[in-house]
Amino acid sequence: MSSIINNILNILTPILLIATGALITDKAGSLNIALEGLVTISALFSIIGASISHSILIGTIFGIISAMILSYILSTLTSKLKANIFITGLATNLLATGICSIITFSIYGTRGLVTFKNLVQIHKIHLFTIDISLFFLLAILLLLITQVMLNNSALGLRIRACGEDPHALKSYGISRTKIKLISFMLSGFFCGIAGSYLSLNLGSYVPGISAGKGWIGLVVIYLAGSNIKYLIPAALAFAIAEAMSIYFQGITNLPPDIVLAIPSLFTLIVMVIVSIIIHNKNLIKR
Amino acid sequence: MKSKSVQTLKGIILIISLSLLILIILAFLLSNEPLKTLNAIFLGPFSNLYFFGNTINSMIPLIFGGLGILVALRCGLMNLGGEGQIYAGGLATTLVALKFMPLGYISIVIGLLVGFIVAALISGLSGVFKVKWNTSELITTYLVSAVFIFITNYLISSPFKDPQTNLIATRKLQYMLHTILNPSLLTTGIFYAIIAVIIINHYLNNSRLGYANRLVGYNKEFARYGGISINKTYMIAMLVSGGLHGLAGGFAIVGTYGSAIKSFSGGMGWNSIAISLIALNNPLGIIPAAFFFAWINQGTLIAMQSTNITSDITLIVQSCILFLTTSVVLLGDNK
């Protein structure tokens, strides 16, 4: 039982971080498709940083910086070029994959798995038989901070105005581009921590390490109705589903490829069910 | 009008030049023999008939995939599920063609047809979600495709795996398209790809369905006033888009691979999106765009064989093109 709970917490941590960051861009009025790429690049840079410095903290900072630089590039180029944010987001994912495999190929001579020795373990608090990592506590803390920031701070108000009523923002003389940039950088910050957790917890970097978590992050927001209060239960639903699929893989003989398909399938089903509910609600309103 | 298209053309030339510049910079950064690498990338595909034929051959699935994305884009829809649709369509083509092997070359036709239908249904599923409940097709096409990639992996590596080979692949087809430029891999598939471009061009520009498709993409409300069923148009666009991806996978099999090999389609779907964008929503533009991609892809593959560079640098070029091709600043408003 405790292993299932550990698994759930392990999966919940990155999803929650990614979704919190993506919620900020969502509030600012754009869908961040690049989450997957931001997580991937941070996963690689943080583990490189950690193996050089022998410090989880410095590794994480490496990861955060790399993801924030990438989201800065994404946001600035998109607004400077007046490009379509979906396509540039897609481009960012490809760019991250490309950069990571070029780096692993030229430094470590492989395009596949890179394992690092002498890594420091992520610190965990043992509560009875459950391990709670500092990253999980950080994710919860940052979620609360984000909630306060969005609801009670000037920046939060501006971010929400940017998404809901850009004209109001403009009439206050605040640049929409700037607020969007801030929201993307914050999203990069969160993806950076999530990426660090993924690779540092695993002790290695593999291509595709984000494994669809960026997309799950988007659907979590959708499931929570873009309401930060429902972010934890929504993310928890996905974490439980994925943990269950790992559990069932152990007790049944499902082929691994089919098990790997379960998270996407579950995400899809949730996405469709939520849109049915929203659709029906709108029908009643009319 | 004229000056706008001139600006667009200038923009495209600028985008391609910038992407190539980045490729050159990468070669200097990463290779210990940058000139040899660049020579292999840019001239390798033209250095002999074998490489040239292979370059043209690798255009075939890209043309079908590019057309698939274009049909959806013209309707204002985004199909991010190309990867899975190509992969599953390719497997369906292989299995059906194997089944009907006794019929000779007709087995290829039936196989391609089924590949078209299977991939059309996969993307049609996202179309149903979109039409019925307004579920974002952007996300559902990606998720459905992700599921089908794993299912196809499973089918290729377990129930349909050929025990005779060490590859993770199905049995080999006996009947394939004819090669036309020996010793290269180029097949008659290129003619079918060009015919497909002509058909889609005619369909989008001169047919009633194509008109509806364009109008819905251009201005949904106006189309509705004109009595066009938006839902029906969306459904048709998604079906045709998926079907064309299925053909991309199918032609890759009956032309080049001969059997469904695990991950044979890796990257084709993302390439298709870039190709369709650089073709600026014009079906005829798909051919030069696909040629450009085939050239760079084949070039980096050749470079990888002879120097110490990874072919993943094409991902950077691809992302560079995606970054730039929707730019209103560079291209003007191309709606």
Q: Predicted ipTM? A: 0.85
B-facing residues of A in 34-73 (CB < 8 A) are none
Q: What pLDDT, on the 0 to 100 scale, is given for residue A286?
A: 65
Q: Which two tokens stand for residue A165?
A: 């009523």
Handedness of CA A68, A70, A72, A74 (dihedral sign): negative
Q: Look-up: residue for tokens 């291509």?
A: A207
Test A87 with B139 for CB contact under 8 angstroms: no
Mark out the alpha helices in B100-160 (DSSP H runs): 106-133, 137-157
Does the pLDDT at position B218 exceed 70? yes
Say whether pLDDT at B48 is over 50: yes
Cα–Cα distance, B153 to A133 (Å, whole number): 34
Residues 6+ apart with CB under 8 A from B244: B64, B65, B67, B68, B71, B116, B119, B196, B200
Partner residue facing A83 (CB), from B144, B158, B327: B327
Cβ within 8 Å, pair A258-B329: no
State residue B334's pLDDT score.
54
Sign of torsion over alpha carbons A212, A87, B115, B234: positive
Distance between A85 CA and the closest CA of chain B, angstroms: 9
- Closest chain A CA to residue B141: A268
CA nearest to A215, candidates A11, A9, A33, A25: A33
User: Which residues of chain A neighbour B322 with C-beta distances below 8 Å?
Assistant: 87-88, 90-91, 94
Q: How confident is the model at residue B14 (pLDDT cuts 50, 70, 90)?
A: confident
Interface test mutation site (partner B, options A30, A73, A79, A102, max chain B beta carbons within 10 A): A102
B52 vs A278: CA distance, rounded Å: 53
> Which candidate from B139, B322, B329 shows the least CB-CB separation from A218?
B139
Interface membership of A156 toward B (CB under 8 Å): no
Looking at residues B31-54, what average pLDDT do you find?
A: 88
Of B314, B323, B328, the CB nearest to A77: B323
Match 């092997």 to its residue by tokens: B101
Q: How confident is the model at residue B2 (pLDDT cuts 50, 70, 90)?
A: low
Q: Which helix (H) or strand (E) segment is A124 a member of?
A: strand A124-127
Q: Which CATH number fits domain B2-331: 1.10.3470, 1.20.950, 3.40.630, 1.10.10?
A: 1.10.3470
Q: How much is the pLDDT for B147?
A: 94
Q: How many Å lie between the alpha carbon of B249 and the closest alpha carbon of chain A?
A: 20
Handedness of CA B78, B82, B88, B89 (dihedral sign): positive
Helices (H), A82-212: 85-108, 134-152, 154-164, 166-171, 176-202
Within 8 A of A279 by CB-CB distance, chain B residues are 132-134
Examine the pLDDT at B311 and tell me if it is beyond 80.
Answer: no
Residue contacts between A and B (CB atoms, under 8 Å): 134
- Which percentage of chain B shows pLDDT scores above 70? 98
The pLDDT of B13-39, averaged and rounded, is 86
| pLDDT in 10s for each residue of chain A, 286 residues | 678 888 889 899 999 999 999 999 999 888 888 999 999 999 999 999 988 888 889 999 999 999 999 999 999 988 888 888 888 898 899 899 889 988 888 888 777 788 877 677 777 777 777 788 889 999 999 999 999 998 998 888 888 888 888 788 888 888 888 989 999 999 999 999 999 999 998 888 888 888 888 888 988 888 888 889 889 998 998 888 888 877 777 777 778 888 888 888 888 998 899 899 888 888 887 6
The predicted pLDDT at position B1 comes to 46
Question: Residue B163, SS3?
Answer: coil
Is the Cβ pair B143, A271 closer than 8 Å?
Answer: yes
Per-residue model confidence (pLDDT) at position B333: 62
The pLDDT confidence band at residue B335, using thresholds 50, 70 and 90, is very low
Q: What is the pTM of this model?
A: 0.87
What's the rounded mean pLDDT across residues B110-124? 96
Q: What pLDDT score does B321 carry?
A: 83
CA distance B123 to chain A (A): 13
CA angle at residue B30 from B25 to B32, to 5 degrees? 110
| Contact at CB, B30 and A88, closer than 8 angstroms | no
Contact assessment for residue B129 and residue B137, using Cβ atoms and an 8 Å cutoff:
yes
Contact at CB, A87 and B270, closer than 8 angstroms:
no
